[in-house]
Amino acid sequence: MTTPAQFLPASLQERLRPQHGATLPAPRDAGAHVLYCMRTAYRSAANPSLETALRVANELRVPLLCLAVLEDSFPAALSRIGMRPTDRATAFRLEALRELQPEIAARGSVLLVHVERDGSRQAAAQSLAARARLVIVDEHFGIEP
């Protein structure tokens, strides 16, 4: 398989963009799973990133691990100007993830939740990505294609 796009429908292919470089990466030959990093789309319905990750994992015949990362603080640059996650926003995300967990399980995957704190930023995502055949990430809202 050269890229994951070749077995996806056109409606998903048009949403794919490489994170780095000009072309989509091919899955690694070795790896224990496909990793889907949920950044903003905490839902199972109408979630093209999740659908892509499920299809890629199925094609590669490896499990899909979904990882949602919650931040208890923003990076220092944003914190200096007073930006930080609010309790209300965090409660909303946790409630969405609680509802999402059985939906992800029903689709044959598992949802992992990691709370990033100073000193542990990106540790879970980096560790899981290092063992993945492919990593799929949704984008923050407002990113232009």
So what's the pLDDT on residue 2?
57
Evaluate if pTM is beyond 0.75: yes
> In whole angstroms, what is the distance from residue 60 CA to residue 77 CA?
40
> In whole angstroms, what is the distance from residue 110 CA to residue 108 CA?
7
So what's the pLDDT on residue 145?
45
So what's the pLDDT on residue 108?
92
Query: Any residues with CB less than 8 A from the CB of 46 and at least 6 apart, and which?
Result: none
- Give the bridge partners for 69, in sequence order: 114
pLDDT by position in tens, the chain (length 145): 556 666 666 666 666 666 666 666 667 788 899 999 888 888 888 888 898 889 889 989 999 999 998 876 655 555 566 666 677 888 888 999 999 999 999 999 999 998 877 666 567 788 898 899 988 888 765 544 4
So what's the pLDDT on residue 104?
94
